Amino acid sequence: MVDRTEQVALSDDGTGRLTALMEDVLADAYEPQPAALPGPLAIRTDSCTVDPPFFGNGDIGRLAVCHTVNGLAATGAEPRLLTLAVVAEAGLPLALLRRTAASVRDSAREAGVTVAAVDTRVVRAGELDRLTLSVTALGAAAPPPPGARPGDRILLTGPVGDHAAHILSLRAGLGYEHHVPSDCAPLPGLLSALRAAVPPDAVRAVLPVTDGGLAEALHRLDGRVDGVIPVRYETQVALEALGVDVLDAACAGVCCVVVTPEAVGSALTALRSHRYGREAALIGEVVEGPTGAAMPAGDGPVRLR
C-alpha cells in the first residue's frame, strides 16, 4: 500500500518507481508483451490536458483513454492496444497518480483494449497543471467509411454539452457540476454494435463530438439540422449561466454518425440498445452543394431550423 500522504518527488524522475506504481494498479489491463496484431494496423496518438484534471465522475486518465480510442474507432478500426506516457508535477499526491492509473485500467477494460507500455516523467512543481497524459492507440485497420453524401441522415449518439457544462462549472465553482455529470465514455462497443446492425457502407461517416462541439462536426459534414438536438435541461441551464452556446460545447462521449436514409431505423435501434446510446436521435441530413454534390468538408453551409 502507498501512504496517502506520499507525493511525487523530482528525484523519482527516471527511477522507474512511478512506472512500477502505474503498472501495479493497471493489473490485468497491462500486458507488456502482447500478441502481435494481425493484418494492417491503424494508429492514433493524443496528448491530454484538462483543468481540473480530476472531476466529479472522471479524471484525466479516463478522458485520455476515451478520447484516443473513440477517435480510432470512428475510422472503422478496432482498437486493441494502448501505450501510456505520464508527465507529473513534483508534489502530486501519489494517491492521485494511483487514481489516474485505476481510471486508465477501468476505461481500457471497458473499451476492450490492453495497455502495452507505460512511461512516467517528473517535472518541477508549477511547470504544468499537475498531470499530462499522452496515449497512443493501435488497432486492426478496416476500410474507412465512404464519406457523407447529399441526402444522408445525421444522428447523434446522445445529448450534447454535458462534459463542457461539468468541467466549466467545476472550474468556476458554480455548483452545476453536481447535477450534470461528464459524458466521458469509451465508444468502440457502441460503434461496433452500430456497424453490425446495418448493411455494409450504410455508415457513411463517424465524427466524435469533442473540442469545438457539434458546430464543428456539422461544418465538416455541411449538414442541415431540422430535428431537435438532444440537450439535458440541467446542461442547458448550466451552459447559459456560463455564456456558452450548446453547439460549441465540448463532449467526451458523443459521436455524430452519418447513415444512409434506409439505415436510420436500424441504426437508431442499435444505438439505443447500448448504454451510451440510449438517447440517440436523428437531427438532420447532409445538404447538397450548388452542383448537386456534397460540398468539400467545411466549405458548405450549416443550416439550423
pLDDT in tens, 149-203: 989 999 999 999 999 999 999 999 999 999 999 999 999 999 999 999 999 899 9
Across residues 253-271, what is the average pLDDT? 97
- Which of the four pLDDT bands, split at 50, 70 and 90, describes residue 295? very low
- CA dihedral sign, ordered 115, 120, 125, 129: negative
pLDDT at 102 over 80: yes
Distance CA 229, CA 284 (A): 9
Range ranked top by mean pLDDT from 37-46, 75-84, 212-221, 292-301: 75-84
Peptide linkage before 52 cis (omega within 30 of 0) = yes
User: 40-90, pLDDT tens digit by residue?
Assistant: 999 999 999 999 999 999 999 999 999 999 999 999 999 999 999 999 999
Distance CA 231, CA 165 (A): 11
User: 180-192, pLDDT tens digit by residue?
Assistant: 999 999 999 999 9
Across residues 24-46, what is the average pLDDT? 91
125 φ/ψ angles, rounded to the nearest 5 degrees: -55, 135
pLDDT at 252 over 90: yes
pLDDT of residue 261: 97
SS3 272: helix
pLDDT of residue 172: 94
C-alpha cell at 21: 506504481
- List of E strands, 69-143: 78-89, 114-123, 131-140
Q: How many CB atoms lie within 10 A of CB 160?
A: 30
What percent of the chain is predicted at pLDDT more than 90?
79
- Which of the four pLDDT bands, split at 50, 70 and 90, describes residue 290? very low
pLDDT of residue 187: 98
pLDDT at 37 over 50: yes
pLDDT at 2 over 60: no
pLDDT of residue 129: 87
